[in-house]
Every structure is written in structure tokens, then in C-alpha cells.
Amino acid sequence: MDPAGVERDLFRALNAFVEPAVRAGLGGPCLIPLGLIVLETVGRRSGRLHRTPLLASVVDGCIIVGTFRRRSSWVRNAEAAPAVRYWLNGRELRGRAHVVRPGRPPALPSTVSQLVRGIAATLLARYAALGWSFAVIEPVAGEPTPGAV
């Protein structure tokens, strides 16, 4: 089996174990603004729903997730269909993903706080230049903000 296939199978097995626990509320950002969420995206080709456990940071009402894996499907799916669902501390929420990745400068709307836009323009943009990809998930209007969850 090729190395990419081994890596894919490893992450699938790990996600199958971790995802239900995180959706139930285990490991979420509570006392510190860093923890696990489950991000649900729509497959850009298949249209199927995909759930991925991710390490996330809560910053000023938004969720920031990232990966160094160049072929992460969740990044490409979120870029193609930015309306996402995510589970944070056992609660299902809806949001809009704004993708920051190599070759794509951060372009966050004014509805995202100035602090988060500043982080995207400096820190996330620098890491994107090194090959990282990120999504800033903005809660949908009417949903509780992550800091209030």
C-alpha cells in the first residue's frame, strides 16, 4: 500500500474512535480556549457529509482550526462549500468556514472580529506560507457564540 493510503487509513481508524467522543462533549475547549471539535463538511465531489475531529482554538467568538496535511479533504470541502456544522462541548452548531491556505490570502468579512482578522492576516498567513491550511469558522447568526457555549 502506498504511504498516502496508509496515512488515510490511520486517520480513518482514529477518527472513527475519536469523533463520537468529541461529539458527546469530551475534550472540547472549556477551561482553556483549546480543545477538540468535530467539523462536518459536504464533500465537494460526492455531496456526502464528512465529519472530522480537529484541534481547535476559540478566539473572540470564532473557531480556528488548522492542518499541516496538504491533502486534507476537510479544507478543500470547506473551501468549496463553506456552510458547515460543528460540535463543540457536546453541542451541534452551524457556521461559515473562511479558508486560509497556501496561495489564498486571508479574506475575512467584517462580521468577523478585528482581533480574529488580525490573527488571520499575520499569524495564520505566515503559517500558510509554510504550507499550513486553516479555517476560521464564524457562527451563523442566531447561533450561540463559542465563548458562550
Residue (of 63, 50, 39, 58) closest to 139 by Cα position: 63
Domain boundaries, the chain: 3-148
Q: Whole-model pTM above 0.95?
A: no
CA distance 125 to 66: 12
> Which set of grid coordinates corresponds to residue 136?
476560521
Q: Please tell me what DSSP assigns to residue 132.
A: -
Only one residue has cell 469523533, namely 19
Tally of helices (H runs) and strands (E runs) in the chain: 4, 6
Decide: residue 62, CB within 10 A, 0-12 exposed, 13-18 middle, 19+ buried. buried
Angle at 132 between CA 131 and CA 136, to 5 degrees: 145
- Look at domain 3-148 and name its CATH class: mainly beta
Residues of the chain with pLDDT under 70: 1, 4, 31, 143-149
pLDDT digits (tens, 9 = 90+) for 57-71: 999 999 999 998 877
Only one residue has cell 442566531, namely 142
pLDDT digits (tens, 9 = 90+) for 38-64: 999 999 999 999 999 999 999 999 999
Sign of the torsion angle spanned by Cα atoms 121, 109, 103, 64? positive
Can you give the pLDDT at residue 31?
Answer: 66
